């Protein structure tokens, strides 16, 4: 599975337009691909478009990290892993099975 997330230079999870780094956790290849986030300080929808173009199958977010436009762009393309207890890339990787168990096809309220 290819799982997208956005974080800052300190590897802290951020909203789609507030993190400098767009990453894809590629479970099959066992790597974390890192890209410059094209939507940084521009817009969540720009980041979401890039996530879809990179072939992500899911996205890790916290409450409030998506807006309606980015959610509408991704609906039907991605599963959503809504987390509250993990804040960094390291925590997410260490608890990836738990994070994946939270996957849903739709979110109720952003």
**What single-letter DSSP state applies at residue 87?**
-
* Residue 21, beta-bridge partner list: 7, 36
d(CA 90, CA 32) in angstroms, rounded, equals 11
At 64 the pLDDT is 86
- Mean pLDDT computed over every residue of the chain: 94
Q: Rounded mean pLDDT of 30-37?
A: 96
User: Does residue 110 surpass a pLDDT of 70?
Assistant: no
Residue located via tokens 């436009």: 69
CATH of domain 2-104: 3.30.420.130
Query: Would the pLDDT of 76 be above 80?
Result: yes
Over range 26-36, report the average pLDDT.
Answer: 95
CA distance 72 to 93: 27
Segment 74-79 shows an average pLDDT of: 94
pLDDT of residue 108: 78
Tell me, what's the pLDDT at 106?
87
> Given this model, what pLDDT does residue 18 score?
97
């Amino acid at each position: 599975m290819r799982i997208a997330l956005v974080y800052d230079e300190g590897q802290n999870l951020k909203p789609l337009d507030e993190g400098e780094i767009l990453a894809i956790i590629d479970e099959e290849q066992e790597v974390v691909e890192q890209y410059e986030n094209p939507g940084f300080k521009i817009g969540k929808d720009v980041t979401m478009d890039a996530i879809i173009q990179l072939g992500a199958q899911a996205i890790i977010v916290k409450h409030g990290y998506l807006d309606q436009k980015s959610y509408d762009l991704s609906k039907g393309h991605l599963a959503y892993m809504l987390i509250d207890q993990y804040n960094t890339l390291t925590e997410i990787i260490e608890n990836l099975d738990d994070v994946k168990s939270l996957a849903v096809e739709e979110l109720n309220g952003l």
